[in-house]
Chains A and B, each alone.
Chain A
Amino acid sequence: MSIGTDVALAPGQTVPNPQTFGAATTGKVGMWIFLVTDAMTFGGLLLAYGILRIGNPHWPAPTSVLGIPFTAVMTFVLIVSSLTMVLALDAARHGNRLGAVKWLLLTAGGGIFFLCGQAYEYTHLIRHGFTLPSGNFPATFYVITSFHGGHVFTGVCYLLITAAGVFRGKHLENGANFVEITGLFWHFVDLVWILVFTLVYLIP
């Protein structure tokens, strides 16, 4: 439990707590600091992509190589999984343990669907000669999307661990702070995909 949250409070009561950052728990601030640094890593990769692309007048149009409708469906699933994640938090905050588990598992299911879609996409692209060493576009494409895919995989594991904890009656205290922190990571994965989808797949 984070510092300063071990004080028994009446429902709705607030106390000044100089040991936490604003109104957030230390766990939440920790996750935010991690996400900011992680965003910088993604920023670096996207920037490398941007520089290589702007420096090459013969860069192929992504839409001529990548399947936009298929990826749009993957994007849709990730957006739906963000909705199910906030519904999980909402259920947890209202003390609805099984509801929270249901929404968390659906969120993880969205992540698993996304990973399967990515595996299918990679297989299809590699069979058509779009391999990692075949140029700067495939190289940057695979590095960025697989780094994001690694985050999705981590997020799915994180969601399943959180769901197992909630099922056993944990993580519902303190405004379901643990579930909220899990959600922060998952929404970040969605947020990054929004940018990757636009910058790598859609920009002509």
Chain B
Amino acid sequence: MTEHASHESHDTPGTAAAPADHRRDYFRIFWVLLVLTIVEVAVSYLKIDKRLMSVTMIALALTKAAFVGLYYMHLKYEKRSLLWLAALPLPLAGFYAVFLMLDGANLLRATTLPWIHH
């Protein structure tokens, strides 16, 4: 019950009797996810620069993932320590991904990287 009571303290301080009502949030997030998905699919049909399109889509996908994590997986309402457990590996993974992909481009396509001298 401890976890439940902490929900209450976030929502309505001082009234910790009934379970917190997140239904309105749940529906709001559903509409956000739906609209962002429609935008994403619509963007895929546009004739715009590929890089701009890729960056836009990754930004939209990360926004959607963040909404699912924060609201549907309740990270927003958890203790800060649990949020860190889930969030801390992400920038590390992003850093790793960018550099491995640059390395892949360098090895497979011989794209010149400023810090590698052939």
Contact = CB atoms under 8 A, between A and B. Distances in A.
Interface of A: 5, 9, 11-15, 17, 20-25, 28-29, 32-33, 35-36, 39-40, 43, 46-47, 50-52, 54-57, 63, 68-69, 72, 75-76, 79-80, 82-83, 85-87, 90, 93-94, 174-175, 177, 180, 183-184, 187-188, 190-191, 194-195, 197-199, 202-204
B3 A177 contact: yes
18 contacts: A5-B2, A14-B2, A15-B2, A22-B80, A23-B78, A25-B3, A33-B85, A36-B85, A83-B26, A94-B19, A175-B3, A175-B4, A187-B68, A190-B72, A198-B58, A198-B61, A202-B40, A204-B44
B89 A40 contact: yes
Contacts, number: 170
Nearest to A31: B73
B22 A20 contact: no
A52 B105 CA distance: 9
A63 B42 CA distance: 12
A55 B61 contact: no
A83 B100 CA distance: 36
B115 interface: no
A28 B21 CA distance: 20
Nearest to A56: B108
Contacts of A56: 108-109
B97 A199 contact: no
Q: How large is the interface on B (under 10, 10 to 19, 20 to 34, 35 or more residues)?
A: 35 or more
B50 interface: yes
Contacts of A50: 97, 100-101, 104
Interface string B31-72: 001100100110110000010011001101100110011001
B82 A14 contact: no
A86 B104 CA distance: 40
B89 A36 contact: yes
Contacts of A13: 1, 5
B57 to A, nearest CB: 5
Nearest to A185: B73
B93 interface: yes
Given A63-B44, A87-B26, A21 B81 contact: yes
A32 B73 CA distance: 10
A195 B61 contact: yes
B116 interface: no
A183 B105 CA distance: 39
A23 B2 contact: yes
A40 B93 CA distance: 8
Contacts of A69: 41
A33 to B, nearest CB: 7
Contacts of B68: 82, 187, 190-191, 194
B81 A22 contact: yes
Nearest to B5: A14
